[in-house]
Structures are given as C-alpha cells and as structure tokens.
Amino acid sequence: MSTVVSGQLSVIGSSTRPRIGVRGPGSGVRTVALAMFVALLGFSSSPVLAEPIRLDAAAVAARAVEVSDVVAVARERANATAAGVQAADAARWPSLAASASLGERSPVPEFSLPILVPGQSAVVLVPDITTTYAAGLRATQTLLAGGAIDSQRRAARLDQTAASSRQAQTASDLRLAAQVAYWEAVRALAARDVATAQVARSDRLLADSQALLQAGMAVRADLLAAQERQASATVALIRARAAAATALDTLRSLLHLAPDQELELADTILGALPAPPAPLAEAQAQALAGRADLEALGAQLAALEARETLTRAPVRPGLAAVAQWDLARPNQRYFPPEDRWQDSWAVSLVGSWTLFDGGKSAADRAASQAQQRALARERADLERRIRLEVQTAHSDLETALQTVSAADLARQAAAARQEAAEERHTVGLAAMVEILDAEAQLSAAEGQQVNVRAGAWLAAAALERAVGR
C-alpha cells in the first residue's frame, strides 16, 4: 500500500504544478480538496504484509545450514586450525627480535691506573657511568629440532582436516534435522487436513441422524452416537491444529524466521515418493568412504601419530644459528668502558642435547600411544555404528515404500466402505454402529497413509545422512 500511495502522490503532484502569484477562480477549493484527499490516502494506508515463503526440502536444508549458529561455530573452529597451520609453518623461518633498554645506576668510585709519565693523565679503567643505554637485534634460525618442526606442521594440517570434516558433519546433521522438521510439518498439515475432513463427515452424519430421528427412522441412541462422533472429531481437529502449529513453529525457529512468517510447503503427503535405495552393501561402502565424522576421527588419529614425534624431540640434539648486533652506551665488550655509543656483533651456533629429563619424554610418548589406541578403537566402533545406521535407514525406507501402496489401497477401501455405509443408513438399511465403525476405519486408514508416506521421506533423509551425502 505504501508503494501505491507514493505513486499516486507523484501523479497528483505532476498534474497540479503551482504557479506563483496566480490564483484563478476556485483555486482555494481545489487546494483544500487535494489536501483532504492526500490525508485520506495517508490514513487509509496500511503496512504491506510479508509475502509467504515457499519452501521445499532442499531449500529448507540449505537455509538451515546457511543461518545456523552451530555451523558458524564449526566454521570458526576450522578457521582457527587454519591459523594453527600458519603458526606451525612459521617455525621454519628465522626469528628477529629487537630490544632496547635505559638504566640508571648508583655512582661508584672510579678506578684508574696511574701512568708514571710526565704530562699524561691516569687511565680510567672503571669509569663512573650512572646512565646506560642499549639497543640490539637478535636473529635466530633453528637448524635441527629433532623432527619437532616437521611433526608439528604435519599435525597442524591434520587438525585442520579434522576440523573441516567436523564442520561438514555438523552441516550434514543439520540438513537431516531440517528435512525431518520439514517432513514432520508436511505430516502435521496432512493430519490436520484429515482431521478437518473427519469433522466435516461427522457434521454431516449428525445432520443426517437428526433428520432421520425427526422422520422416525432413527432412535435417540443413534443421535447420541453421532454427537459423540462429532465431538471426538472436533477434539482430534483441535489437537491436529496444535500439532501443525508446533511443527511450523519448529521449522521457523530452525530457519531463523519470524514467528508470524507465513510458510508454504511445496510438497504434499500424496505427492511423489523417494526413489528406492541402492543395494545395502553399496550404501554401507559409500558411508565408510564418505562419512565426515569417520574422516575426522582418521585425521585426529593421524595427528596423534604425528605428535608422538614431538615427545621424542626434547631428548634429541638441537642446533640453532644465532646472530646478534648490539649498540650500547657503554658497550661492555669494549675495555675500558666509555660513556659513548659503540656497536658490536656476534654470530654463533648453539647446540643443545637433553641427556636426562627424569623420564618425562618416555611418559609423554606412552600417553600419546595410549590415546592412539583408544582413538583407533573408537574409530572401529564408529564404523560398526555407521553400518548399523545405514542398515536401519535402508530397511526403514524399503519398508515404507513397500507399505505405501497397501496404505493407499486401505484408505480407498475405507472411504468406499464409509460412503456405502452412509448410503445404507440413509435408506434405513444400516444401523448407526455400522457407520461409526466405517468412520473409525477410515480415520485409521487416513492416518496410516499419512504416517507411511511421511515415514518414507524421513527414512530417505536419514539414509542420505547415513551414507554421508
């Protein structure tokens, strides 16, 4: 409405161009009328309602991953491991450190060496310098670290692989949750429609019973049974509406949508069914080859193996090259010290070798090996659970697809029976109990059809996640 109003105002403004100093007959009346018209448009305008969002299962899964805070957390953790790779690579390069100092010392007696030569003053060996200055640059390059640098770089890359795999697994879990929420909403809406149809049939049955009672073709017990059926259908409708609202609220929350955002679900419960699954052995092999959580455990195990070398590095020889340049006042390398700026430099090779560390390195190595064995067993158990997960989802999907045709046929037969029972009751050939039984059977068949068809899509989503797609 606001867009339309602005367009109307622009047209009105262009057709009533003011002229300075000219007032024709009736111009004041036209101005007042125009002002009232514009004010009326302003009062009658109302905010534009948000357009409904149309979603299918794929769009729901994509949006859930896009807006999820959990996926964002996993992504940031993967970014942290990428920074850890850069930090590990930095250990290969030389380091350069700058230093500066300013000091104040208490005065001390000077020490001088007298020279027994006429005309020459004594040589001051230890002058009284109370203020000292120093600046320096120190470059260090590690030449040998017992394999620690290469092991740390390899472990950091494996940590990055594990974090990326965990991020992919988090996204996979969220896609499954989104599809489950979507198909649960489809199921709930279908159940609400079924309950609505049941109320309509019970209302019609109640009206027919009242008419037959007035015509003397039914008894009061028939009317009471129809009223009970109508009340029970109303209760079921209220519950179905609440369940549908809860399912849609869950879907909105998962997609970070406003609570009042209207949703249109592209799929219906009577639409197309998922494709039959691939053979079980093929699906299990695909899962073992492509599951991100299994890949993350494998990378974590390899990182532990790489870090085992780090436990050996402290007891291996190390070698580093060091270059130092100093500018100081006084410079202690000059003798005797003088209160003036002097520079000096030094280049050295520094070797180290820990001959005894109290058994720390051996204990760290034993702890690393124990963690590797534990993670290997955890990985083996995960493979077992993945096989079972794939088998269960595969069986659920096959079962659902096999029962869909039977559920559809049962619903058709129950609907035909209910219609025939109503016709027989109308002409006085069927008792009310026959209609109530037919209504109950139709309700059960409709609910079964809804559950079986929704279960097929839920099983298909679970199988997609189980195989790592």
77-111 pLDDT, tens per residue? 999 999 999 999 998 899 999 999 999 989 988 88
pLDDT, tens digit, for every residue of 48-75? 456 888 988 899 999 999 999 999 999 9
Strands 111-113 and 123-126: antiparallel
**Number of domains the chain contains:** 1
Domain that holds residue 362: 58-92+145-317+353-466
pLDDT, tens digit, for every residue of 167-180? 999 999 999 999 99
Would you state the structure tokens that stand for residue 466, as one six-digit string?
């189980």
Q: How many helices (H) and strands (E) does the chain have?
A: 10, 8
Average pLDDT over every residue of 13-22: 37
**Quick check: pTM over 0.85?**
no
User: Which positions ≥6 away from 59 have C-beta within 8 Å?
Assistant: 266
Judge contact between 257 and 53, C-beta under 8 A.
yes
pLDDT for 95 equals 92
Strands 111-113 and 263-265: unpaired
Average pLDDT over every residue of 406-432: 81
Q: Which of 280, 469, 287, 465 is nearest to 391 (CA)?
A: 280
Judge contact between 159 and 135, C-beta under 8 A.
no
Given a cut of 90, is residue 138 above it in pLDDT? yes
E strands, 290-368, are 318-329, 342-352
DSSP 8-state code for residue 315: G
Instruction: Identify the CATH number of the domain in which residue 298 sits.
Output: 1.20.1600.10
pLDDT for 117 equals 66
pLDDT for 140 equals 92
Which of the pair, 426 or 378, is modelled with greater confidence?
Answer: 378
Judge contact between 169 and 292, C-beta under 8 A.
yes
The number of beta carbons lying within 10 Å of the beta carbon of residue 45 is 14
Residue 188 domain flag: yes
Q: Which of 411, 408, 391, 381 is nearest to 459 (CA)?
A: 391
Angle at 101 between CA 99 and CA 102, to 5 degrees: 165
Residue 237 domain flag: yes
**Residue carrying structure tokens 């219906």:** 268
Give the span between the Cα atoms of 149 and 313, in whole angstroms: 9
- How many angstroms from the chain centroid is the CA of residue 168? 9
Give the span between the Cα atoms of 448 and 405, in whole angstroms: 11
Residue 9 domain flag: no
pLDDT for 428 equals 66
Residue 117 domain flag: no
**Residue 199 C-beta-side C-alpha neighbours within 13 Å:** 15
pLDDT band for position 17 (cuts 50, 70, 90): very low
pLDDT band for position 306 (cuts 50, 70, 90): confident
Residue 120 domain flag: no
Q: At what angle do helices 69-90 and 148-214 cross, to 10 degrees?
A: 170
Which amino acid, residue 290? Answer: G
pLDDT for 429 equals 67
The number of beta carbons lying within 10 Å of the beta carbon of residue 96 is 11
Residue 385 domain flag: yes
Residue 210 domain flag: yes
Residue 341 domain flag: no
